[in-house]
Copies of this chain bind each other. A is one copy, B any other.
Amino acid sequence: MHCKLICLGKTKNAHLSSLIQEYIEKLNYYTTFELVVIPDAKTSIKQSLAHRKKQDTSLLLKHIKATDNVILLDERGKEMTSVDFAHFIEGKQSISIKNIVFVIGGAYGVSESFLLKTQQCISFSKMTFSHQMIRLFFLEQLYRAFTIINGHPYHH
């Protein structure tokens, strides 16, 4: 199973960027993982939030293939424990999903047209985290999920 994370906006903080890279390397022990960072769209303050949301959605949709199994990370989604999330990933493996694509929307969310392409929507917390930092949280949880699936000592 190939895992991908698609998100919007380059990580400007060098330390965060390095931490993200460290988790990608760890993940590649268990799966082929790819991080796709779509550069932020040029926006002006005058643009409405609805317009920015539409713009972000259209950028994201360009990276989704018809055969992708798309999981949106959104605070309104279903919350899971780390063990539930590991079972969720294992479930995808067991039904021979080839490409699992996780998506972190922009700061203004995604439009309905994106939700129609989405298989599941998962929330990592009721809290709002910066959409930069949520990448790191996601990578730690995906790594943790693979250690749980493989019975490796990382998760207590």
Contact = CB atoms under 8 A, between A and B. Distances in A.
Given A13-B19, A19-B15, A19-B19, A140 B144 contact: no
A15 B15 CA distance: 5
B19 A127 contact: no
Contacts of A15: 15-16, 18-19, 22
Contact of A126 (B16, B79, B130): B79
Contact of A81 (B108, B124, B127, B141): B127
A118 interface: no
Interface of A: 13, 15-16, 18-19, 22, 75, 79-82, 84-85, 107-108, 124-130, 133, 136-137, 140-141, 144, 155-156
